[in-house]
Structure 1
């Protein structure tokens, strides 16, 4: 599944509820760590069809980034059934995969 570009606050909140497990990547085009993790995140999205993966550009939706407390870029938020389950600050691919696996245990529990 492709990574969805989230362009408005309304899209963000609708996206949170789009699947049982949702991951949102808060990024910035100027951020080297954001750009480095992007292809890996796209791979995670392709490998996990049951997970909705989206991205928010903090320069376009700065108020939303502040409201959601995305204080670093990249920051990933993992949601289970619309509720925030985990936060991964930085471009740590293995931690992101671990949090997705943990989220799956909450869905099947």
Structure 2
């Protein structure tokens, strides 16, 4: 599956409506963002069951601000509507695959139950 451009209007619904959503916050002037783009696009082709979203931080400044983006690229992962990963910096393909596999394996319901017990 190809990547999907996310906007303030589509971000929340995309996260809620899909099991797993990865989001790349980027800008066209950002060198590391341009380096990360083909890695991210490649992963989207390998994992059609996951939504790979992209947020242009220049066009979506309010959304980037709401997400507390202070450095780009920043990768966020959501599972069942919950933020489960957030990290700035361009990842190599192997590291991105590790993140994807960890998110797939994560039992969000069990983690939420543990948090509510504390």
- TM-score norm. by structure 1 comes to 0.91
| CA positional deviation for 1:10 | 2.1
CA distance in 2, matches of 1:42, 1:18: 21
Q: Structure 2 stretches of 5 or more lacking a match?
A: 111-118
Q: Deviations over 1:49-83 (max 9, x none)?
A: 11100100001111111110111110010000011
The structure 1 segments of at least 4 consecutive aligned residues displaced by more than 4 Å after TM superposition are none
Which stretch of the first structure deviates more once superposed, 47-56 or 92-101? 92-101
Aligned partner of 2:60 in structure 1 is: 61
**Count of aligned positions:** 108
| CA positional deviation for 1:9 | 0.9
Q: Structure 1 stretches of 5 or more lacking a match?
A: none
Give the alignment's Cα RMSD to 1 decimal: 1.6
- TM-score norm. by structure 2 comes to 0.84
| CA positional deviation for 1:47 | 0.3
CA spacing shift, 1:22–1:107, aligned 2, 3 Å: farther
Q: Is the 8 A contact 1:88 1:96 kept in 2?
A: no
Q: Which has the larger radius of gyration?
A: 2
